[in-house]
Amino acid sequence: MGTTVPGVHLGRDLLRGNRVLLALAAVLSLFASAADLTVPWLAMVVTDALTHHQPITRAALCMSTAVLCAAGFQALTGWLLAGIGELAVLRLRCQAMDHLLRLPLHAVRDEGTGALTARVTSDAVALRILIETGLVHLPVALTTTAATLTAMAVIDPVLTLVAVGAFSLAGACIALMTARMKHLADAQQRALGQLAQGLTAHLTALVTVKACRYEAAAARKLGHAAADVRSACLPVSRLQCLIGPVVSVGQQIAVLAVALVAGQQITRGVLSLASFSGFFLYLLHLTSPLAIVALGIGHVQAGLAAQGRFRDLFTITVETDNATPSSLQSTCSEAEAVTFDHVTFRHPGGSPVLDRASFHAPATGLTALVGPSGTGKSTVLTLINRLALADQGEIRVLGRPVDSWPLSELRRRTTYVDQHATLIEGTLRENLHLGLEGPVSDETLLDALEKVGLREAVLCLPRTLGTPLGRAHDLSGGQRQRLAVARALLTDGDIVLLDEPNSHLDGISEGRIVQALVDFSATRCVIVASHRPSIVHNARHVVLIGEDGTVVNGSHEELLATNIHYRDLFSGYATASSGYSEF
């Protein structure tokens, strides 16, 4: 079990500080096994004493003590392994979750959030069983099997050969079954991951599911995924259920064969009744370690499959800081906060979203990203803070190439609000503190909420800023957007990136948000991807992204005068929003 999973080493990381306890558990398990092995021998002594009319008190007391010691050692072993196993699972899950949160967005989407969740939950448990079984139960069971066979051979080698021959038939069957365990366990976990992914996706879209009366169809779709899980789990369950009966059949064959041979030996006076009773008890005792070995091999196979999936997970490259000394010495342009120079970006297997795009955003003022839906406005924002990487060209942020920034520093200097105004599951205060360098007073938080028109609504919540969001208490779409903007206003980043921050707002709320952003942009660069005329009308600079991935930029007035596509687009914006007073 010294194998290394990239990112996690079973011995060094998961069992750190517990290897002595693990060794102690193995020793205690061996003691329990040794105590168990003495019981048949002592029973043989008692039988022999009874046959010769000798006292049995001492032997009976020793036998009782051995039984109690075996039970005590087994209990201590289980207690130790429970603590060691749960701590190993905790460490594995923490490392896996830390790794997951550092993966690029495209990697998480490719794998699926449900499938990744299954890694952290069920795969971690399978790896715990691998540790307990592979490092303690299986080695001890093999040792016990060897010791039992040795004791049987001491009593009667011929009967031992008969028993081994009978059990060999069962062993061959079990070997064939366990050979398939790893493959079947891997298929089982993949099916569970697909079910988890489907369920997560449908629960995330539950409002849409209900609004479109899609519950029955969604249930059928998930039912098919559940049926796939059953199909994958059924062979594993059946094989595991067969192991016990196969071992039992082997035992019964061994008992019959031994009884026939032993009967002849007793008749000839070669084998005493006491020796036969001891041998017979050892034969019955042999079933337990053999069953543990058979089941343990299956558990190890499943654990190895889980280990392989963790290996695959940890080999996915995380986002890394790759700043160089020369890049860190570069200085920020006083005129431009962001520059795109012939930048091309395409999704895997698709046509370019951006095609040799070149534009800039000034260091202060509001910059509007406009264009038809699907032309890459959101992509531009993710390229600026390296949530996505360009295929070609150069992006400079505050005077440095974007790929030479230390990632944590880049994201400290660039505040990003996605178009879903995503909030974490936590208190309202915790959501406002996201991305801030240090603690902020509640009054400062309330001032930011005042700027977006949310202060009174928050003060009316049951626990005001301490109200948990995401479950019993949640905000409307517009309130979530205003809260996300308030969070951005609290940061000290040089660049603020907002994706459709006013798409769910009424006219009054939108006016407050736009004014807050205009005021905020007096000292920093604010880039807003939006279809709303209120943003364009107040923008100092406008970047138009065409359907072919090309880009033109300038002031609102310049583009109105020189670009027919911009005039048509803006006319459409203005018509759709004709109710707004500023137009």
Contact 104, 319 (CB under 8 A): yes
Residue 332 has what pLDDT? 46
For residue 154, pLDDT over 60 is answered with: yes
DSSP letter at 205 equals T
Torsion angle (degrees, nearest 10) of CA 139, 143, 145, 147:
-170
pLDDT value, residue 452: 87
Kindly report the pTM of this predicted structure. 0.77
Q: What percent of the chain has pLDDT over 70?
A: 92
Identify the pLDDT of residue 51. Answer: 78
pLDDT, tens only, 246-267: 888 888 888 888 889 888 888 8
Q: Residue type for 475, please?
A: L
For residue 166, the model assigns a pLDDT of 85
Examine the pLDDT at 430 and tell me if it is beyond 50: yes
Residue 436, pLDDT score:
83
Q: What is the pLDDT, as a whole number, of residue 12?
A: 64
How does 64-100 read in b/e, with b if 16+ C-beta sit within 10 Å? eebeebbeebbebbeebbeebbebbbebbbebbeebb
> Strand order in 400-401's β-sheet?
352-362, 336-346, 392-397, 400-401
Rounded Cα distance between 7 and 42, Å, is 51
Q: Mean pLDDT lowest for which of 11-15, 237-241, 441-445?
A: 11-15
Q: How far apart are CA 400 and CA 381, in angstroms?
A: 16
State the pLDDT at residue 326.
43
- DSSP classification of residue 122: I
Dist CA 50 CA 56 (whole Å):
7
- pLDDT score, position 339: 92
**Residue type at 60 in one-letter notation:** A
Spell out the domain ranges in the chain: 8-156+290-319, 157-270, 336-576
pLDDT value of position 149: 92
Q: For residue range 189-235, what is the model confidence (pLDDT) as tens digits? A: 788 888 888 888 888 777 778 877 888 888 998 899 889 988 888 88
Tokens standing for 412? 């400290």
Distance CA 419, CA 155 (A): 79
Is the pLDDT score of 445 beyond 60?
yes
- The residue with greater pLDDT, 186 or 400, is 400
Which tokens in the block code for residue 17? 């500080």
Q: Rounded to the nearest 10 degrees, how much is the dihedral formed by the CA atoms of 279, 285, 290, 293?
A: -130
Q: Note the pLDDT tens digit of each residue in 287-332.
A: 888 888 888 888 888 888 888 888 888 888 888 766 554 444 444 4
Residue 28 pLDDT > 50 = yes
Q: Which fold has domain 8-156+290-319?
A: ABC transporter transmembrane region fold (1.20.1560)
pLDDT at 393 over 70: yes
pLDDT of residue 10: 57
Q: Which residue in 380, 378, 391, 323 sits closest to 352, CA to CA?
A: 391
Mean pLDDT of 105-130: 84
As a whole number, mean pLDDT of residues 450-472 equals: 84
The residue with greater pLDDT, 400 or 45, is: 400
Superfamily of domain 336-576: P-loop containing nucleotide triphosphate hydrolases (3.40.50.300)
The mean per-residue pLDDT over the stretch 139-154 comes to: 92
The string of DSSP letters for 128-188 reads: HHHHHIIIIIHHHHHHHHHHHHHHHHHH-HHHHHHHHHHHHHHHHHHHHHHTTHHHHHHHH
Q: What SS3 class is residue 476?
A: coil
Instruction: pLDDT band for 76, please (50, 70, 90 cuts).
Output: very high
* pLDDT for the residue 94: 87
Dihedral through CA 173, CA 178, CA 180, CA 182, nearest 10?
180
Among 1-5, 70-74, 152-156, 386-390, the range scoring the smallest mean pLDDT is 1-5
Task: Tell me the two tokens of residue 563.
Answer: 């670009």
Is residue 515 a contact partner of residue 491, using CB atoms and an 8 Å limit? no
Q: What is the number of other CB atoms lying within 10 angstroms of the CB of residue 272?
A: 16
